[in-house]
Structure 1
């Protein structure tokens, strides 16, 4: 069933979203809400307080989900706050060496040692989800400080255990691999059940949050309430630089602007961001999809994230949320 057919039939938005993910072979948790112009709910308000007086689309919105690289939003926010407070010089140079590289995008995939500034680490962490950049930035701002930031913002169910390297080392230990190369060789032989049992895929044993808390974080950032205005503006700008357009962006027409951050692990496809319409409407959306088979790349699931986000946001715009 197409988006238009679902709307014409009067099917509830939750059923329409569920049908989209079922067709892609996945299940999902989702929260979408308009970012209004009025004062926000105070930090530390009870869960659901912000939605009591306004429309939302909530599908498992209070259930725990694995954050994966979505945690980088909090990380870069803390970096930007420390810069705004004069605690860090954004131009400070950091060397990314062979010991820091994890493979992947940005500095994580470089073949040679390179020197970059802290603000460029933040840029790479957000724009291409660079894991090495995120690890080095986390080491500089402090894991405990990022945890305290989540507490300060009232994100009581958000837990940060560490950066990408810590998660990778946990995966290596659990499958008995000594390094990434050996893990890549072992991975194809692992059963789906063994992979699903990895702690990095269990929200009770890894960095986790809820879709509602992630949209709350985005709302605070977009309304300059997550820190100094210049810090919030920097996070918004960096999220707008993300190059990946296969998830949230894929669901919206070209005139709609999306600033977002992806998160990916075997069987986990996630993205959280803010959707900007030309008429000024702004909507925070967080989607966390899981597949039965733990593979990293499923184009249909990525597209479903965009389609589901469009359904949710359009229902809010039409007053059906």
Structure 2
């Protein structure tokens, strides 16, 4: 039998929309989430990434109060996660939308709105934001997977919440729908709303997220800006003769920090050391054709950080 541990009171940073401390969830002998401590700042788009089974959805469900943590705690906009005070400030789409199948999309939203004490004007505004106004009269069963997903996002938008938590919001959308969702999230952020986004679309995350948290095997591996993750401190160098250049680069950067990629060298060093590397190569009578910082894609960083999960 699992004993529910009492969580100490949290004192989240002043600007935190979501703040967790040592958030942990155990199912029997399986540790699904292991001491996660993340901070989502107000007004930002935060990408929450991890392989299937890494603990993303369980973490989000604990933040929403849908799952009770084994230990640790979380706050949402300064309120204890899962309390009525916190839930009034949050809109969420977790693990796909669930609606009455034989009601129209509009009537499904109206039922949700009335339960929350909202007027029909909120429904029309939400349908317009996800481009479902024309199809709002149609039964939910007639919707494509992408339309069902957009209706789920519309439900999350009801009442203009301060925080949106979206679990795979582009699932089932075609390229045009993915682009529209990206624009919507950018508009919401520009209007001051905070978005916590879980997604497998790493190219989309790279374009729209301010910061990213990566979870692997239940543990938060890193939390940083997209730029910080992609930078990674690398220099690309094209030089001749390559064997001499390689020896010089290894002497300057260390043997383990130099690799050959497509007939060029990549050095895992601070790009600010570019001038130092260039001087060393020229002194060794190496012709330097190109030397510049390189950024990895978010996809490269993600697979590097979660390689244990992908074996």
TM-score (norm 2): 0.27
Select the structure that is richer in strand: 2
Select the structure that is richer in helix: 1
Which protein, 1 or 2, shows the higher relative CO under an 8 Å CA cutoff with sep ≥ 6? 1
TM-score (norm 1): 0.26
